[in-house]
Each structure stands twice: as structure tokens, then as C-alpha cells.
Chain A
């Protein structure tokens, strides 16, 4: 059992690496990939590997890791294994931003990205302001306001969609299901700046989040600065999810499914759940992306379809297993 556990991560990462870099219209066997290290590739293979596959692999790892870590943070904050970053308005806000971006900027990817990022941030800023009560972030209020804001944002998004033309509608529906298709080095650089720090720093909140699972008051009594903890978790989630959604669109369920699987396997200790979710979330998104671009090749499926196809059964299983 322990040997299997020790081997699981390296084997998974190797699979992710080989599948992520090797599969596609220009197949690269593991052997060819090894030769790439010494520069033994054709010019075309080099372009495919370095300019297309490698950025896509890194973007997938960062986006997936960021979404999974955000999920863990939200579940700890709301003390509920089914919470996800949508609860604090990041994803609905980003979706609204994206719609506005698509309507205004046409297919200009950067406009959509920037609009989605700021849409997510705007929603979080508004919600946390509403949830402030006597200098404290009231979590129950945050949840209620989040539900209300999601409904409002959904309505505005729907209203804007009625104004869209067919091309914009198509862009929009693809965006909402997520894709790593447009991965470039610039996007990877943005993800490294915004998501990677969250993945690396989130484990420092682990002790506080563990204490928080006994309630805010108990965490305070055990010596944790609860308000600072809550605000840091919200800030990290807004940054990582806002960025992930802006860079890759709406990839659902990673934030709920991955932390749940890690908890099932290794228990709820956030010192373990946070780093492992970061790794597994990235791996899941990369593998989903490999399927997305091979199942219906040469066409590409939106990645959100695959994560939802895997995610929904797991999500329902969580609901059914939860004691009443």
C-alpha cells in the first residue's frame, strides 16, 4: 500500500508529461520526447513541442492546480466539502466579464481575458464588502450574498447573450466550457505570476484551516487570527480562480472533485490536501485536455465537458455518502 502510494505521484506525473507532450496530430513517442532533450527533432516537431505542447502542458498544470487549491480554500472557509469558488462570485463575475469582452472585442482573446479577470475580481470585491459586519467577514452573509449576486450576474449575462450574434454566441459557449487551446508562453507567464504563488503559499494557511474546521470561535481560541485567515483565503481564491478562468474559460468540477478525492484517500488534513490537490488538479486538467483533443480529432472538445462528465458522478456520490 505504501509502496503503491510512493509510486503513484511519480507515475502520474510521468503519464501527464508523456501524454501531454506526446499526443496529438503530430505524435511524439516517449522515445522522441527523450531525444528532444538533446535537440534531436525535426523543425516541425520542435515547433509543436516547444511552442504548442509545452505551453499547453504548463497552462493545464497551473490552471488545474489553481482551481483545485481554490476549491480547498473555499471548502475550508465555508466548512463545506461542496463549496467551490463560484460561491464567492469569482466564476459568475468572470463569466459576465467574458460575455462583455466577447460582445465588445469580438474574438480578441486578450480583451476577453482581461474582462473576465476583472469581472471575477469585481464580484469578489463587491461580495466581501457586503459581507463585512463590524470589521469581520460574516461567512453566512457571504454565502447568501453570493447566491443573490450569482442570480443577478446570470440574468445580466443572459440579457447580453440575447444581443449577441451567431459568431459571438459560438465564442461564448466555447469559452464557458473551457479550453487550453490558446495556450501561449505569455499566458503561461501570466499563470506563473498569478496562480503559482497561490499554489505555493496556500499550504502556509493549512494549520489555520484545520483549526477552522472546528468553527471560527474555536480557531480563535486556539490562537489563530481568523479574520486575516479568511481574507487571505478569499484573496488567494480570487487571484487563482480569476486567473484560471480568464486564461482557460470555465472548467468546472476540478475544485470540488480533486479535493474530495484527496480527502478520501489521505484524510482532511490541509497540510496534505492543499499541496496534493495542487498537483492532482493540474494532472486532471492536463489529462482531460489530452482526451479533449484526441477523442474527436481533428476537432477539439471543450475541456469543461470532460471534467463535468467525470465530475458530476463524483459530485453526486459525495452528496449520497454525506451523513444527513
Chain B
């Protein structure tokens, strides 16, 4: 159930968003994609999911993704995207049920909702949820798809915690970890580097559409990487027996000299 990616390039219009990316992704672990805005993280996720045309080769369980039909792909991976858009006021439980490949009993749907901290939300109008609630509802939908798949399964999560409070961020990361421990594949895009270090077994750093670092959190999180990729002069704190972490407080406040940092 591995992803074998070889010479993957994706063009969007005249721009090449991914250049010749090659890597192998194994299930049973949480793989985290990090990188600055526009580095190609979401594009990589979309290409692996089969939603974007690409050059090169992406094989999931030996089958080339571009030659696999949507039905078969849906049985092997779910993608939870960054933005969600809903056109009609479906109740929450029906949105979760949309992900299921075969009908799930309502009790199981409610169980999935409880797993993401939305117990009792089933009958509510999905259009009236808060950003964080909506994000967790879509996680439950992806889990419903995973649960009704025939084969081992990949959860592909594009910034799954971007709207979540601290406790729900942890809960979501733990849920992803449990999924991986049960043998599933997890590939997620994160912006919070500390969360990536805490929750990821493997971190892949994308920069300008190419992989610039790939390894365990300890290997990847270095002062040099932060300076090179993010342009921030921010030391990585390393404490024995603990994951490396960044203390954003130690970044100097902009006092006219925001050197190296992106202008906004």
C-alpha cells in the first residue's frame, strides 16, 4: 500500500509548481509535509490523489494513479481539503455519510462524529457550523470513507488543524496517529512546525516545488533549514529526550528591519 512517486512534475498554467519530485511513502506512519506558502504542498497532495494531471509516475499499491478510475481511487484514499464549500443545507450526518462507500448505520455515523468531538451534531445544519466544527465534520467524512474501503487506506489531510483550537488540534493529530498505528497511511500538510514535530514520524520539506529535506523531525528541524526555507533567523531549541521545538517569542519584533522575512 505504498506510494511510489517518481519524477513527478505538475504545471499550473505556465508555472511549474512541482519539479521532478521522487519519494516513497509508507503506510503505518504519519508523514507531514511542510514548507512555505506556495511551495507546492497542496499541489503534491492533489496530484497524489489523482485530482490533478501530472508528468512522471505516481503509483499507489502498484497502480498508476492517472490510469485508475475515481471509484477505485476512492477505495484507497480520502482527501480532506483545505477549504470546504457546501451548496445546500445538508444535516451533518448526511455529509459524513456522503463519504461512505457503502451505507453505514446511523449509529456508526454518530460514532464517527463522536470520535472527532462532534457527538450530538448529527441533525444540525452543516452550513451553520463554525470553521473548526466544519473541519472536524470533514475529517469524520474522510474516516467514513476509510472505514468502508476494501483495502488498506490513505488519509490525505490538507491543513486539517488550521481552524482548530489547541485541544482539537491535539485530538486530530492523535486520531491520525491511531489511524497510522492501525496500518493506514497518513499524509498531511501542516503549517505549525511544532505540531509537525510532535505529531509526525517523518517530515518532508517542500521549497519552490522540490523536496529540500526529508527525514525524522530531529533530522529535518535545523536552524539551517528554518533559515534557508522560511528565511527566518530562529534557532531550533533542542532539549535532551524531547522533540526539537521553535520558540516564536525569540524572533525579534519587526523594528524596521524585518530582514529576510516576507513583506506582507
Contacts and interface: CB of A to CB of B under 8 A. Distances in A.
B31 to A, nearest CB: 19
Nearest to B89: A268
B15 to A, nearest CB: 16
Contacts of A211: 98
Nearest to A212: B87
For chain A, which range describes its interface: under 10, 10 to 19, 20 to 34, or 35 or more residues?
20 to 34
Instruction: Give the top 6 A-B pairs by smallest Cβ distance, nearest first.
Output: A223-B74, A79-B87, A268-B88, A213-B87, A221-B79, A223-B71
A79 B46 CA distance: 22
A218 B81 contact: yes
Given A214-B95, A267-B90, A221 B74 contact: yes
Contacts of B90: 210, 213, 267-269
Contacts of B127: 323
A215 B86 CA distance: 7
A96 to B, nearest CB: 30
B89 to A, nearest CB: 6
A263 interface: yes
Interface in A254-269: 263, 267-269
B227 interface: no
Given A214-B85, A222-B74, A222-B78, 11 more contacts: A79-B87, A210-B98, A213-B86, A213-B87, A214-B86, A215-B81, A217-B51, A217-B81, A221-B78, A222-B99, A267-B94
Contact of A215 (B53, B75, B85, B91): B85
Contacts, number: 72
17 contacts: A79-B88, A210-B94, A214-B85, A217-B46, A217-B51, A217-B79, A218-B79, A218-B84, A221-B49, A221-B73, A221-B79, A221-B81, A223-B70, A223-B71, A223-B101, A225-B71, A268-B89
Interface of B: 46, 49-51, 53, 69-71, 73-75, 77-79, 81, 84-91, 94-95, 98-99, 101, 127, 145
Given A211-B98, A269-B94, A223 B73 contact: yes
Contacts of A215: 81, 84-85
B51 A221 contact: yes
B91 to A, nearest CB: 7
Nearest to A270: B88
B151 to A, nearest CB: 13
A110 B162 CA distance: 61
Contacts of B53: 134
Nearest to B85: A215
Contacts of B49: 221
Given A214-B98, A221-B78, A81 B70 contact: no
Nearest to A215: B85
Contact of A225 (B70, B78, B84): B70
A189 to B, nearest CB: 36
A217 B81 CA distance: 9
A212 B90 CA distance: 12
